[in-house]
Amino acid sequence: MNKIKENFLSIFYAVLAALFIRSFLYEPFSIPSGSMYPNLMVGDYLFVSKFSYGFSKHSLPLSLPVIPGRVFYDEPERGDIVVFKTPEDNKTDYIKRLIGLPGDKISIKSNKIFVNGLQINREFVQDEKYKEFEVDRYKETLNTKKTYEVYEFKRKSTLINTNDFPEITVQEDHFFVLGDNRDNSQDSRFIGTIPKKNLVGRAEIVFLSFDTKIGSFLKFWTWIPALRKDRFFTSLLPQKEE
């Protein structure tokens, strides 16, 4: 009987430790869509720091309403890749790049992003292909000297205008986010700004990447060829120019 009790306690403490780490330190996430190419790929597995912006109910499993508001809050920085609960349902996890802070004036004119009247600098890198689409790859540099790269489709959809966005002022305790794959992303242009209370954490590192076109977790013999070894332990924090 004592042995059963010891085993039960061991499992209980292990589960408790796992829940603590997941809720307050780091949580693993997987990338299911292409909205953050070229920086995040479908099949990437990453660690998100839960403590970067403080804690809210969304830090906990099932968003249990135990934490009132947001505690130990530290404001995100422009350029961070943030995970948040979409304001459309307050349940689904989205991951995007933070462009606008509270009080910022944000607009997009002919694919150029303006923050408080100043254009985010962009430089052409090269032509690439995303799925069947021809894309231009650009490097964007923020006024903080942080840099990251984005995709722009060469051919635009005639149904949705992603080239332009009228100027808005980001309201208090909200943030404006964009996908790095600019013409293939549901972001603040479509779902609105993100409330502070919906922030989950900051994406920090890709620890594993698995090409789902090549392999399947149900077929162990495909695991090795499907691993994108060059993406292991890739930092997701924006680089800073000297």
Residues recognised as catalytic: 35, 96
Is the distance from CB of 206 to CB of 40 less than 8 angstroms? yes
Q: How many CA atoms lie within 13 A of 223 on its CB side?
A: 6
Evaluate the CA torsion angle 85, 196, 81, 50 in order and state its sign: negative
Counting every residue, how long is the chain? 242
The rounded distance, in Å, linking the Cα atoms of 87 and 15 is 30
Q: How far is 143 from 113, CA to CA, in rounded Å? A: 12
- Residue 131, token pair as written in the block: 């799925």
In the structure encoding, which two tokens stand for residue 122, read together? 């962009």
Q: CB neighbours (10 Å) of residue 136?
A: 17
